[in-house]
Amino acid sequence: MQLATWNVNSLKVRLPQVVEWLTQSPVDVLCLQELKMDQDVFPLAEIEAAGYRAAWFGQKTYNGVAILVRSPLQLDDVVLGIPGYDDPQRRVIAATVNGVRVICGYFVNGEAVDSPKYPYKLEWLSKLHAYVADELTRHPQLALLGDYNIAPEDRDVYDPESWHEQVLCSTPERAAFRALVDLGLADSFRLFNQEDKQYSWWDYRAMMFRRNKGVRIDHILITPALQAKAVACVIDKTPRKWERPSDHTPVVLTLAD
């Protein structure tokens, strides 16, 4: 079983790339973030034509998340948003797929540590933590996938000095990431890859991708039950090389049967 996460930065723009990537890399579960489209215009027909089913939580202009599963897999017990949290931004969707609880999240960016959006990010992270903790009481097999907008360590950014205490790398954000790990989850990428300069997002400007000046902010955290099945986790840079790419690229986790 393969699970992947990809911030597509507009599904309307990137739909052909999503279909192409799924043709080349037919993962069983693909979590998408930043759909940037309303609920009623989700391209379900095209997704189904590619051999996938979908559950989605759309929002125009910004945000929006979806979980795609390869047929004949089913999406069971779908939950939209964080239960009990009145959040106007559509950032979370969850479903059970083949016994695995999949939570797809588009974490708040925060803009800057002195921005009014930063306290919202910390509040949102707290609400998500409580939600995941509750889900773990019922789902020993759980994966939290998404664009976290958090680089957990200095080795996850191309220039730690310039990023020091900036948004994505600030102490409170990294503490929130560690708090999720402390629930009993593991950063699946780091189970296998300890190399430096491994990133999942690159700014469009200044040829940052070509120069590999990026940040690793797309993650898949998994429970011990899934850790026991994990055999690989990789960052697939291929779609970032395509014409009009997303600024993010997929992260793929492979689980043994």
Q: Once rounded to an integer, what is the mean pLDDT over residues 239-251? A: 98
pLDDT tens column, 1-15: 999 999 999 999 999
Judged against a pLDDT cut of 90, whether residue 193 lies above it is answered with no
Residue 236 is assigned to a ligand binding site: no
- Residues 144/132, Cβ–Cβ less than 8 Å: yes
Judged against a pLDDT cut of 90, whether residue 196 lies above it is answered with no
Q: Once rounded to an integer, what is the mean pLDDT over residues 155-182? A: 98
Q: What is the pLDDT of residue 227?
A: 98
Residue 219 is assigned to a ligand binding site: no
Say which residues have a Cβ less than 8 Å from residue 196's Cβ, sequence separation at least 6: 155
Q: What is the DSSP letter of 226?
A: H
Q: What is the pLDDT of residue 176?
A: 98
Task: pLDDT band for 212, please (50, 70, 90 cuts).
Answer: very high
Q: What is the maximum span of the chain, computed from C-alpha positions, in angstroms?
A: 48
pLDDT tens column, 28-81: 999 999 999 999 999 999 999 999 999 999 999 899 999 999 999 999 999 999
pTM of the model: 0.98
Q: What is the pLDDT of residue 257?
A: 85
- Residues 5/145, Cβ–Cβ less than 8 Å: yes
Angle subtended by helix axes 117-136 and 171-181, to nearest 10: 10
- Residues 85/127, Cβ–Cβ less than 8 Å: yes
d(CA 114, CA 96): 38
Catalytic sites, residue numbers: 106, 147, 248
Q: What is the pLDDT of residue 91?
A: 98
- Dihedral over Cα of 92, 96, 101, 102: its sign: negative
Residue 153 is assigned to a ligand binding site: no
The domain limits of the chain are: 2-255
Residue 129 is assigned to a ligand binding site: no
Q: In the CATH scheme, what is the homologous superfamily, with its name and number, of domain 2-255?
A: Endonuclease/exonuclease/phosphatase (3.60.10.10)
Mean pLDDT of the chain: 97
Task: pLDDT band for 225, please (50, 70, 90 cuts).
Answer: very high
Residue 187 is assigned to a ligand binding site: no
- Residues 233/189, Cβ–Cβ less than 8 Å: yes
Find where tokens 């925060």 sit: 110
Q: Once rounded to an integer, what is the mean pLDDT over residues 160-174? A: 98
Residue 7 is assigned to a ligand binding site: yes
